[in-house]
A and B are shown apart, each in its own frame.
Chain A
Amino acid sequence: MDKLPIKMKAVDLNAWFSGKQALSKINMDVYSNKVTAVIGPSGCGKSTFVRNLNRLHETIPGATVEGAVFLDEENIFKPRYDLVDLRRRVGMVFQKPTPFPTMSIYENAAAGIKLAGRVPRPVVDQAVETALKQAALWNEVKDCLDKPGIGLSGGQQQRLCIARTLAVRPEVILLDEPCSALDPISTGKIEELIHELKKEYAIVIVTHNMQQAARVADFTGFFLLGELVEFDVTGKIFTAPRDKRTEDYVTGRFG
């Protein structure tokens, strides 16, 4: 696994919420064209970890961070690093589907593109269509693109949020428990989608669901109490973990 191209690399990453440590000394890699799963019990810091990969963590009042995260060998925490550029390159989908309430399906999908500045309408149209197709939503919404985004079902909303992220053409996609609010059918669709997307993107997925990690991820990191206990290829984590705590967790003995 050392030969794989590294897309993002966390080095001694520490994070706090109002002085309470949420991450300690995380060292972890994210590989290009691979799916990396982050698992662990609630409150173990997995969301905090991915939220540091696009520096969203520090937008919460009282949240602080130390250490480094490299994106293509450039430290995203270095002074005056362009956050807008970072977040366009490292897209994120949240646990709860969050289409913008006042925007139509089309406007939601186009939101990221339009932020970048004036883009001719045909270009936006094309990008919206491509993104919605990639997110496997196009066939369901192509006739009602001007309907409000919050009128869709939960699973559709989540795929709309994925489309919104894809439309910006990022390099890395962070998925923070993208299926935890969805039914099994929608979940299945999103997992299929993840398989498709890894051909083009580096993907990090936070999940509570260990079967899901086993199904979609090439690599898995197990977090516990703010520490990265073990990081390895997914098969090893689930069948031959080195650490006793990982074994206890994946076999369901605690957590």
Chain B
Amino acid sequence: MKRTTEWIIEKLIFISGIGSIVFVALIFFFLLKEGLSLFASVNVFSFLFGVNWYPISEPPQFGILPLILGSLLVTLGAVVIAVPLGIASALYVAEVAPKWLSEILKSGIELLAAIPSIVLGFIGIATLAPFLKNVFNLPSGLTALAGSIMLAFMAMPTIVSIIEDSINSVPRSYREGSLALGATRWQTIYRVILPAASSGILAAIMLGIGRVIGETMAVLMITGNAAILPTSILQPVRTLTATIAAEMGEAVSGSEHYFALFAIGIVLFVISFIINLVADFFMNRNKKRNKKK
């Protein structure tokens, strides 16, 4: 009797475990099958580097370069904003703030992660876009910059909590070694602690990028959605994700347009995969180095 229960539980756990892998594989194959169909009629080069995205004109043009650049521009902007802020707040939480305050701040930062992205997009449209419009005297505030700022907020919780972890995992002995040499707290932080935590910081940045580049709802609402080659961060752009979200509903199943959206999915998949791989690499390096001590 006991044996049977044991056997059933074992198999159930096995199926659940293997299930997640199977699902990922199925999703990947489906994506690949649908996306690759596009390349029967469109060549890969003109898809990736074409500058015109006119999926429903006659003949349709499927150049996703503006979308790739749109995604990269918005992401880059978000990273430039979120990384210095993230490092600074992680340092404050981990090193400077008194314990009670750092507990409050930590929950606050985690709460930021709990805000649905559509709500952030909504706030962005209502407050950030008009603000940017006035400050830079633009025809519209819905720009790459607006997207970057909103996405920076979304990436912050990931970035802060991972950097904070890696700062905390710097052995106490390094800190004391530095203090004992007559280093001030700030010297200890930037000469010893930050370099020792650098892998974790890089991992945090990569994961933050991963979070940002896959984000859809907020950028769809706030970046202005113009599939043109961006020349400035104050222009409207359209990202890869927003394109899929906006057009999937109207693309006829089985049409070239439909396949093109799946092909965009493949591009996104590849980008996220590379980012996660790089983040993983840095995380492991961090762990190894701290274990050595």
Residues of chain A whose beta carbon lies under 8 Å from any beta carbon of chain B: 54, 56, 59, 61, 84-88, 91-92, 94, 96, 98, 100-103, 111-112, 115-116, 150, 161, 164-165, 168
Contact = CB atoms under 8 A, between A and B. Distances in A.
B176 A98 contact: yes
Interface string B276-293: 000000000000010011
A94 B176 contact: yes
B191 A115 contact: yes
Contact of A91 (B174, B180, B183): B180
CB-based closest 9 A-B pairs: A88-B182, A102-B195, A92-B180, A112-B181, A98-B177, A87-B182, A98-B173, A84-B182, A115-B183
B187 interface: yes
Contact of B292 (A87, A96, A150, A168): A150
Given A59-B176, A61-B99, A102 B184 contact: no
Contacts, number: 70
Interface of B: 99, 171, 173-184, 187, 191-192, 195-196, 198, 289, 292-293
Given A59-B176, A100-B178, 9 more contacts: A59-B175, A84-B182, A94-B173, A100-B177, A102-B196, A112-B182, A115-B183, A150-B292, A164-B181
A239 B117 CA distance: 76
Given A56-B176, A100-B192, A101-B174, A165 B292 contact: no
A25 to B, nearest CB: 26
Contacts of A96: 173
A235 B18 CA distance: 71
Nearest to B290: A101
Nearest to A91: B180
Given A59-B176, A101-B293, A102-B198, A165 B181 contact: yes
Contact of A115 (B174, B181, B195, B292): B181
21 contacts: A56-B180, A59-B176, A61-B99, A84-B182, A84-B183, A84-B184, A88-B181, A91-B181, A92-B180, A96-B173, A98-B174, A100-B191, A100-B195, A101-B174, A102-B196, A111-B181, A112-B181, A112-B183, A115-B183, A168-B181, A168-B182
A101 B99 CA distance: 27
B1 to A, nearest CB: 52
Nearest to A108: B177
A100 B174 contact: yes
Given A102-B195, A111-B191, A116 B177 contact: no
A48 to B, nearest CB: 13
Contacts of B184: 84, 115
A94 B172 CA distance: 12
B99 A87 contact: no
B176 A85 contact: no
A161 B177 contact: yes
